Every structure is written in C-alpha cells, then in structure tokens.
Chain A
C-alpha cells in the first residue's frame, strides 16, 4: 500500500526565512508526485507534478525536488501570503488516484 509521510507537521517562519518541507513516500510504481497548497476552508490548489528522480520545478518562491524516496518543497524568502497547508500526494495507478500525506501547516509572520 502506498504511504506518504510529511514533515514537519507545522512550521513557523519569519518573513524572509527560507526553509524546506519533506515528503517521504513508499509506492509501487510511481506515476507522479504532486504538491498542492490548501488555504483554510478551500480546495487544494495545484502547484507541481514531479515524475522522476532528479526532476526539479520552480514557481515564484517555491521549488520542488524529487529523489527515489522523498520530495522536498523549498520555500525561499517566504512572505506572509505563503502561509497555508502544503500537501504532498503520490499516484501509482492508471486512474490517477492520489494518496495524500497529512500536510505541513506553514505560518509566515511579518
């Protein structure tokens, strides 16, 4: 069975203080690893898809990387508007079903 573990559970950062979130996964046949951002009371917002080890993707202050066992989401010089819960998910079947981790709640203070 696919397993996704995210750490830390919560992260409090000062504005401008860069940090990384971790997503460790166990899956039989990775078809994709996904990062989403979720604000309270809203649906997840798609950020990145990574397909193979060594792949990297960037979007504004966010950069996602992938190895054979884990993925990192790097937040560079975060701003208060980066405060959210960041969810990692993996897909291993042809239907595209996602197995989500528990998420990392990030709070960025001015």
Chain B
C-alpha cells in the first residue's frame, strides 16, 4: 500500500505557458500533501503544504501566484506552474501523508521550459 502517482512524468513547454502536474494517492486518503522541487545533485526543497479543501501554505521564497496548488480531494492535488520560464525547469515531486508522519512520494515530474 501507500502508492502515489504523478502525471505527467515529464513535460516540455514553451516560455510563458502554464503547466499542470497532478498528484494522486492511489490506495489511501491523504490527510496532507506536499510539493517539493529538486535541482540536480541537490536534496528536496519543500515548496508548499496542502490540505484538502483549504488554501496551501507556501514556504518562504516560493511565489504563490506562480505555483498554484489545488487540493481538490483527499486523493488529488495539483500544481500549476503559471507563465513558466526556463528557470522554472526542475524536477517536481509530490508526497502524501497517510495519517502518521510518514510521507510517501510520487515518481516525480521533469519539467523543461524552452
């Protein structure tokens, strides 16, 4: 159990366009979902925390208007990168918390902005 999926696994978009990434917990209901960003050879950086039906809480330095998070249900959260620029290119990973403190991670989405 504790499977988390992400879609798409990779995406290429043009500068100025928006991209939506979906995160689903497949076999459990997630009390909380998290979005991370990871640069090459670096560790995970938490971007935001989201709970179903409420506004996401963003970490310091993360632009909430650029990275829109919607937590539509206990099994689905989406991250929309608005007006993407090349510096937004990165590996985005979501995770879901089942009830304890463990987080289960999705496989990640590689975003390339050209």
Contacts and interface: CB of A to CB of B under 8 A. Distances in A.
A49 B100 contact: yes
Contact of A43 (B43, B93, B97): B93
Contact of B101 (A36, A43, A91, A103): A91
B67 interface: no
B43 A101 contact: yes
A96 interface: yes
Contacts, number: 57
B101 A45 contact: no
Contacts of A102: 42-43
A95 B101 CA distance: 8
A103 B2 CA distance: 23
Contacts of A103: 43
26 contacts: A32-B101, A32-B102, A34-B101, A34-B103, A36-B105, A42-B107, A43-B6, A43-B95, A43-B107, A43-B108, A44-B44, A44-B93, A44-B105, A45-B105, A46-B2, A46-B104, A46-B105, A49-B101, A95-B32, A96-B101, A96-B103, A98-B46, A100-B43, A100-B44, A101-B43, A102-B42
Interface residues of A, number: 22
A49 B102 CA distance: 7
Contacts of B110: 41
Contacts of B44: 44, 87, 98, 100
A103 B93 CA distance: 16
Contacts of A100: 43-44
